[in-house]
Amino acid sequence: MKKLIHTLLAGSLLTTCLATTSAVNAMTVSPQNWWAGMQNSSLQIMLHETEIAKQQWYLESYPGVELKSITKTDNANYAFINLEISPNAKPGKLLFKNRAGDQFEYPLLTRDKQSAERQGFDSGDTIYLINPDRFANGDSSNDTVQGMAEAASPSERGGRHGGDIQGIINALPYLDELGVTQLWLTPPLENNMASYSYHGYAITDFYNIDPRMGSNELYHELSAKAKQHGIGLVMDLVLNHFGSEHEWMKDKPTTDWINFNGDFADGKHATSHARQTIQDPHASEFDKRQFSDGWFVSTMPDLNQRQPLLATYLIQNAIWWIEYADLSGIRVDTYSYSDKAFLADWTKAIMVEYPNFNIVGEEWTSNPAIASYWQAGKINNDGYTSSLPSVMDFSLQESLIQALNEDESWNTGWVKVYESLANDFLYPNPDNLLVFADNHDMSRVYTELKQDLAKTKMAMTMLLTTRGIAQMYYGTEVLLDNTGSNDHGDIRIDFPGGFAGQKTNAFTGQGLNSDQVDMQQTITTLLNFRKNSPAIAKGKLTHFSPKQGVYSYARISEQQTVLVFLNKNTTAKTWSLDYMREVLGNHKSATALFNKQKVKLTKPLTLPAMSALVLVIE
């Protein structure tokens, strides 16, 4: 007789062990639990065990829950239980049995009362982007974990350095004081890869936090403690690909689970990165497939989201993490590389479940005609309808760096920023775009601006006061720099003060030079101003064509007007405000944000050389 053992392991992986006198087989269940009272009444549970499909499972009677069917595939090691859960079903434990006498319990949990109405991040937020492995080591005992393929190697640029979730929890008071309102962590999920596993984008378990980062419980604790500081948690999800050491590579749920039959073919099946093929009316089907089905690299196999069982798996996985970790948003890696029909279904399912939620998709293009295709509300020529609320504004990022590095002329300098923002007519909701100066995949803004403090301050002032949702990369506030190397391991540099033996500590200020202190104070002022500024959060943007090396604009709400002047000149400018009368109205004075001095608006201003002036009119 088989003897049943069922338990919840650390990390919340529900595993049912069916023990015999000769062997023990583990059945994995995904997702490991669900919640009563979800908007979507359907649930599909994946079972994985040797020849599980040969077992006949049934559900013991449970009010409001019906086992509709069991889907089997061409792999007998998988079975998919399809349930219908009525709105009246109460939390409890479902009991599944098979005809051999085996059984397992499945938790149906209680939802938080306000879960469905949760508020996602918005244009009043500042999202602080962290590579967890490179931010702070709060628990050195998990730097190397037995059973994980890659051990800690802090001296290697591409190795694991030991940062973890506990380090981020310890840093929450610092982030609160800095003015951060949201945290975006590059994926902390298990990446059990032989090398370069620190970045998080080669996922080998979609339901468990990497043990070198912590645990599911610790991730939940981060979310709860961050909320106590007024900080939300944004999860970085990967829909397009996964890690080649995932069990799916050895035991595919279906033969069509992975694109190109799970074969990279020495690069023949690599993605073309030709994102324009999605909209190109002349594109060949070959080119379309090469973009969407192609792999990034051999260690990141490309998922086939046209497979309906996989599509459901990915939808439920996102919803599970939103509920479990109380997320305030999702960032989707390599958004446009996934099947676009699936993306429409995926975003719609989440937004129906959480109408006030926010999701930002990465579409790495400086062409807003391509990026705007994905934002919800866009009327596209091909009839495609998206439910994605936000996209990343790579156009503005690229334009800002160019503007600050170029000499001023009729078609160079600040005009690049002006023209990028003028293209906002292409977006249904430009206020819901994510704006940023850099991120984990590109050189740091201080590096790109040739280690120029004044230009870096102008860049960050502009991004933190213009329209959109602001995102800042960790360490920008203390001028982290990768000059001399474009290696991702150097871009994702260790945060000063997060690791033992560092002489500089950004958390305490110890060892920071005068430029770093200046930048940290500037960022702190800007971020805390954003927290309480109605003009920045919801105000209309009115900008003026650049002239004489100065770009100026206003953010206007009923309660407040904010004026911004960005002077690239190496000398001070005496600046008449006559051209701004349409935004000044009858206001006679304002307060300078950085020094709190009163400024008269009835006479010309003095714009200091190479500086940003921010004036607040209440």
280-288 contacts, C-beta under 8 A, 24 or more apart: 281/381
In angstroms, the CA 277 to CA 302 distance is 18
Helix or strand (DSSP H, E) at 217: helix 216-228
SS3 state of residue 353: helix
In angstroms, the CA 115 to CA 126 distance is 22
Amino acid at 245: E
Q: Which DSSP string do the residues of 303-321 spell out, in sequence order?
A: B-TTSHHHHHHHHHHHHHH
Helical axes 415-422 vs 394-405, angle rounded to 10°? 160
In angstroms, the CA 179 to CA 370 distance is 33
In angstroms, the CA 611 to CA 570 distance is 9
SS3 letters for 571-586?
CCEEECCHHHHHHHCC
51 in catalytic set: no
In angstroms, the CA 235 to CA 576 distance is 46
Residue 117 in tokens: 């109405």
In angstroms, the CA 399 to CA 12 distance is 45
Find the radius of gyration of the CA atoms of the chain. 26
62 backbone dihedrals φ, ψ, rounded to 5°: -145, 120
Closest CA to 495 of 513, 477, 469: 477
Cis peptide before 253 (omega within 30 of 0): no
**Rounded alpha-carbon distances, angstroms, from residue 322 to 89, 119, 610:** 21, 12, 44
- Tell me which of 125, 164, 236, 333 is the catalytic residue: 333
Closest CA to 336 of 299, 380, 379, 386: 386
Amino acid at 617: I
Q: How many CB atoms lie within 10 A of CB 266?
A: 8
Residue 62 in tokens: 């449970």
Q: Which DSSP string do the residues of 66-127 spell out, in sequence order?
A: EEEEEEE-SSTTEEEEEEEE-TTPPSEEEEEEETTS-EEEEEEEPPPTTSTTPPPP-TT-EE
Q: Is the dihedral of CA 546, 547, 549, 554 positive or negative?
A: negative
**Rounded alpha-carbon distances, angstroms, from residue 581 to 173, 421, 456, 462, 606:** 42, 21, 29, 21, 17
Helices (DSSP H) in 107-215: which residue ranges? 165-170, 172-178
DSSP character for 220?
H
Do the Cβ atoms of 493 and 480 come closer than 8 Å? yes
Do the Cβ atoms of 372 and 378 come closer than 8 Å? yes
**Rounded alpha-carbon distances, angstroms, from residue 69 to 82, 87, 89, 128, 575:** 5, 19, 19, 44, 73
41: exposed, middle or buried (C-beta count within 10 Å: 0-12, 13-18, 19+)?
A: middle
Closest CA to 204 of 139, 264, 147: 147
- Tell me which of 143, 190, 205, 362 is the catalytic residue: 362
362 in catalytic set: yes
**Catalytic annotation, residues:** 333, 362
